């Protein structure tokens, strides 16, 4: 084969021609690879910061049941407060979907609960500002949900741990004069039957837990007919907050602040 033939084969347009689109594809692939590499490098740099932010959030969560709200539902707190702020924004006044959600969710929240949720939200976001950077960011929604779940698990763990330490002595500190007599009938947290007699299922414990404004009527009816329901919420004062040989016996519905937090149970648990 002649030299010209060899050159013809070498530069056959059907086999060896330079394909511009092929080069462009290679260039795009190289650019994407560079972007991914930069993204990995960026993520690696952010990891320590993210880990520190997560640790800060979980640390704050440990203090919520001790100093703020022992029965805190952090998911509901964030859902309600964020929704309140969105509804208050004038730009969202004509958003029918938002207004429907607000009516469905916020309609169940009374004013006092809203204030309590606002206080919790303010406390948490001030001490863990990282949470504010996740709110409203669609790309960070999963991260926010997971972080709230972790914080809630920490809150629940602390509450359960604290409560378990009190179970063994509940019969003593709930009695007016524990040095003379514990609550009757005696209770025990060591057995299923003993635990079943706690809370409202125990005649003496049920009396001190009863909302004070319903103390005389509702509790008696409930013991007579356990199938009857009695609504107990965090917004009503329990009888044990008020003084009296029988907790709440000195409660005055016309002056509810008189004697508040002076019940014997408050004194007992403050020194345990």
**3 is a domain residue:** no
Lowest mean pLDDT, pick from 86-90, 150-154, 186-190 = 186-190
Percent of the chain with pLDDT over 90: 20
For residue 116, give every residue at least 6 positions away whose Cβ sits within 8 Å of its Cβ, in sequence order, or none.
69, 234
SS3 per-residue string spanning 183-248: CCCCCCCCCHHHHHCCHHHCHHHHHHHCEHHHCCCHHHHHHHCCCCCCCCCCCCCEHHHCCCCCCC
pLDDT band at 6 (very low <50, low <70, confident <90, very high): very low
pLDDT value of residue 208: 84
Does residue 174 carry a pLDDT above 70?
yes
Rounded mean pLDDT of 52-72? 90
Number of domains in the chain: 2
pLDDT at 18: 42
Q: Which residues make Cβ contacts (< 8 Å) with residue 268, sequence separation at least 6?
A: 173, 174, 178
pLDDT for the residue 153:
95
* Residues 145, 58 share a domain: yes
Looking at per-residue pLDDT, the higher value among 171 and 68 belongs to 68
Residues 187 and 127 in one domain: no
160 and 174 together in one domain? no
DSSP 92: G
Give yes or no for residue 173 having a pLDDT over 80.
no
Reported as a pLDDT band with limits 50, 70 and 90, residue 119 is very high
User: pLDDT, tens digit, for every residue of 121-165?
Assistant: 999 999 999 999 999 888 888 999 999 999 999 999 998 888 777
Final residue before a domain boundary, out of 146, 167, 188: 167
Structural domain span for residue 82: 45-167
> Quick one: average pLDDT of 111-115?
87
Three-class secondary structure of residue 249 per DSSP: coil
Same domain, yes or no: 242 and 160: no
* Cα–Cα distance measured from residue 93 to residue 104, given in angstroms and rounded to the nearest whole number: 16
Taking residues 14-32, report their average pLDDT.
51
Of 60-64, 202-206, 223-227, least confident by mean pLDDT is 223-227
Higher pLDDT, 105 or 131: 131
Mean pLDDT for 57-84 is 90
Report the C-alpha gap between 125 and 77 in whole angstroms.
12
Whole-angstrom Cα distance, residue 137 to residue 147? Answer: 14
- Are 194 and 259 contained in the same domain? yes
Q: Which of 167, 187, 208 is the last residue of a domain?
A: 167
User: Do 197 and 88 have their domain in common?
Assistant: no
Neighbouring CB atoms inside 10 A of 118's CB total: 15
Do 214 and 243 have their domain in common? yes
């Amino acid at each position: 084969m002649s030299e010209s033939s060899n050159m013809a084969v070498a530069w056959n347009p059907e086999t060896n021609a330079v394909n511009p689109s092929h080069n462009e594809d290679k260039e795009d692939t190289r650019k994407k690879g560079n972007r991914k590499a930069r993204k990995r490098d960026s993520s690696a740099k952010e990891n320590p910061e993210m880990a520190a932010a997560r640790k800060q959030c979980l640390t704050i969560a440990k203090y919520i049941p001790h100093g703020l709200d022992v029965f805190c539902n952090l998911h509901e707190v964030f859902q309600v407060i964020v929704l309140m702020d969105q509804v208050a924004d004038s730009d969202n006044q004509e958003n029918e979907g938002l207004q429907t959600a607000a009516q469905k969710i916020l309609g169940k929240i009374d004013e006092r609960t809203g204030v309590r949720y606002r206080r919790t939200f303010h406390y948490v976001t001030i001490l863990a500002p990282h949470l504010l950077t996740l709110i409203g960011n669609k790309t960070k929604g999963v991260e926010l949900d997971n972080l709230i779940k972790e914080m809630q698990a920490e809150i629940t763990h602390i509450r359960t741990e604290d409560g378990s330490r009190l179970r063994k002595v509940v019969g003593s500190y709930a009695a007016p004069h524990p040095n003379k007599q514990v609550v009757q009938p005696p209770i025990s947290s060591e057995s299923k039957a003993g635990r079943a007699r706690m809370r409202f299922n125990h005649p003496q414990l049920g009396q001190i837990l009863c909302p004070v404004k319903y103390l005389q009527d509702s509790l008696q009816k409930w013991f007579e007919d356990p199938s009857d329901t009695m609504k107990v919420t965090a917004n009503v004062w329990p009888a044990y907050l008020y003084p009296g040989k029988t907790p709440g016996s000195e409660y005055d519905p016309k002056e509810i602040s008189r004697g508040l937090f002076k019940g014997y149970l408050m004194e007992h648990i403050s020194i345990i």
